[in-house]
Amino acid sequence: MSNPLRIAVAGLGTVGAGTISILQRHRDMIAQRAGRDVTIVAASARDLTKKRDIDLSGIDIVNDAVSLATRSDVDVVVEVIGGHEGAAKTLVESALRAGKHVVTANKALIAHHGVMLAKLSEIHGVTLAFEAAVAGGIPVIAALRSGLAANRIEKISGILNGTCNYILSRMYHEQLEQGVVMADAAKLGYLEADPSLDIDGIDAAHKIAILASLAFGTQVDVAGVKATGIRSITLRDVRYADAFGYRIKLLGVAEFHDGTLIQSVHPALVAKALPLASVDSSFNAVQIEGDSVGRVMFEGRGAGAGPTGSAVVADIIALARGDRYPAFTVPTASLIASSAGDVHAQRACFYLRLSLKDEPGVLAEFTRVFAEEDISVRAITQRDIAEDASAQVVVLTHVTTSGQIARAHQKIAGLAVCVAPPVLMQMEG
């Protein structure tokens, strides 16, 4: 075998420890598949005294992550610190400038600075790899880069945040309110340190922006993602959706047509007959539609030491073999600076739950709004009376535009008969 590939791991948290554990447990198998040994030379951690459930003997442990970038005994820097600024960004930039390959699981870093970092990797003749940045152990980036390379990708959609899927799944199966499940998710370590990254769709927005760039050859545009999270979803919505034959899922969706990129993250009612509806717990799923292959779906665990560490090590093995490729499939100079599409032009059916005063004339008040916006209604049903004595009315629409339903939503929210903000979701299938 040739000389070993020498690794430095920045960050000994869940993913860093998982990566080291896999490299140690499967050392012989990895060497066989990579064609050379993979050796962990150094690692960094903020707390050098903390006891960890991995063998760190023979590894030089330092508390300055950035110092790993310039070590002469390191070929590949693995960044699993997290965050799109600060030490993570400085380390990755420094490593690329020093001519070292970089493997990262940092979706925020790639979403915000990926094109700049990819350009640096090209200038210095090294590889920037980030399979672990999207959907944990699911090899969706590799699929877009190679397995589906013969296809013009038409659409990407999926469940990209395991925490939200865990919350919505338990609400459905155990009939629990969101707050109860969120508290459990926090105890289990599923929630980000800042829960809004999960609950408000920011984490999923990072991931769909990365996937869109890889699929369509566009520059990463995380600012162009219209993100709506699951904060407004209640057990009542979960029950109503179930009665209509749907499950509620937080979806990331990206489409590219005629130079226009439309990206969104939103809760949706997904028909139970569709494969995405059955993806439960903290699992992720990504659905890709290509012009030649049709629709394919990848499902698996989207986070955790094992799944994410698996993706990190897959990138390390590819580097050990000598695989070299542009970070976003094509050179950065070829990435298209797309214009952000108008999400309000998208057409779909919608679910709208209204909390209304239980009094005569209410029906006429909100149906007038639908008439003004030229929205055709498929069904109106009063489900029950809420604890605040408001009538819970559900409206299902025929196909309309996002713009029309958004205007109707705003108008209804301003009506005197509306006692709480209406809950609006797109319907899939």
**Domain holding 145: CATH number?**
3.30.360.10
pLDDT tens profile 294-330 = 999 999 998 888 999 999 999 999 999 999 999 999 9
Residues 398 and 275 in one domain: no
- Count of domains for the chain: 3
Q: 134-143, 219-228, 333-342: which range is least confident on average?
A: 333-342
Averaged pLDDT of the chain:
93
Residues 414 and 326 in one domain: no
Residues 361 and 327 in one domain: no
SS3 282: coil
Which pTM does this prediction carry?
0.93
* Domain ranges, residue 209: 140-299
Task: Flag whether pLDDT at 397 surpasses 80.
Answer: yes
Average pLDDT over residues 325-349: 87
Q: 42-56, 106-120, 332-346: which range is least confident on average?
A: 332-346
Task: Flag whether pLDDT at 342 surpasses 80.
Answer: no
pLDDT at 220: 95
Residues 117 and 74 in one domain: yes
Percentage of the chain beyond pLDDT 70 is: 100
Task: Flag whether pLDDT at 98 surpasses 80.
Answer: yes
CB 287 within 8 A of CB 296: yes
Strand (E) positions, 35-182? 36-44, 60-62, 76-79, 101-104, 128-129, 153-159
295: enclosing H helix or E strand = strand 294-301
Q: Which residue has the tokens 């140690």?
A: 24
Residues 122 and 186 in one domain: no
pLDDT at 1: 53
Nearest C-alpha neighbor of 44 from the set 94, 4, 116, 107: 94
Q: Where are the alpha helices (DSSP H) in 245-374?
A: 305-321, 362-372
- Residues facing residue 393 across a β-bridge: 354, 382
Average pLDDT over residues 52-61: 91
Task: Flag whether pLDDT at 265 surpasses 60.
Answer: yes
Residues 294 and 172 in one domain: yes
pLDDT at 303: 85
Q: 47-56, 218-227, 364-373: which range is least confident on average?
A: 47-56
Residues 329 and 355 in one domain: no
Residues 263 and 316 in one domain: no
pLDDT at 322: 94
Phi-psi region of 158 (alpha: psi -120 to 50; beta: other; left: phi over 0): left
Nearest-angstrom CA–CA distance, 192 and 199: 9
Average pLDDT over residues 26-41: 96
**CATH code of 351's domain:** 3.30.70.260
Residues 364 and 418 in one domain: yes
Q: Which residue has the tokens 């070829």?
A: 334
Residues 81 and 158 in one domain: no
Task: Flag whether pLDDT at 74 surpasses 80.
Answer: yes
Task: Flag whether pLDDT at 193 surpasses 80.
Answer: no
pLDDT tens profile 164-185 = 999 999 999 999 999 999 999 8
Nearest-angstrom CA–CA distance, 243 and 254: 29
CA Rg, the chain, in Å?
24
Length of the chain: 429
Percentage of the chain beyond pLDDT 90 is: 83
What is the pLDDT confidence band of residue 205, given thresholds at 50, 70 and 90? Answer: very high
**CATH code of 88's domain:** 3.40.50.720
Nearest C-alpha neighbor of 188 from the set 158, 162, 216: 162
Average pLDDT over residues 112-132: 97
pLDDT at 191: 80
Residues 282 and 347 in one domain: no
Long-range CB pairs of 142-150, under 8 A, 24+ apart, other chains included: 142/314, 143/288, 143/296, 143/298, 144/211, 144/214, 144/215, 144/288, 144/329, 145/214, 145/325, 145/329, 148/288, 148/290, 148/293, 148/296, 149/329, 150/292
Say how many CA atoms lie within 13 Å of 45 toward its Cβ: 18
**Eight-state DSSP code of residue 376:** P
Q: Which of 89, 100, 107, 207 is catalytic?
A: 207
- Residues facing residue 212 across a β-bridge: none
What is the pLDDT confidence band of residue 210, given thresholds at 50, 70 and 90? Answer: very high
Residues 230 and 102 in one domain: no
- Check if 207 is active-site: yes
Task: Flag whether pLDDT at 190 surpasses 60.
Answer: yes
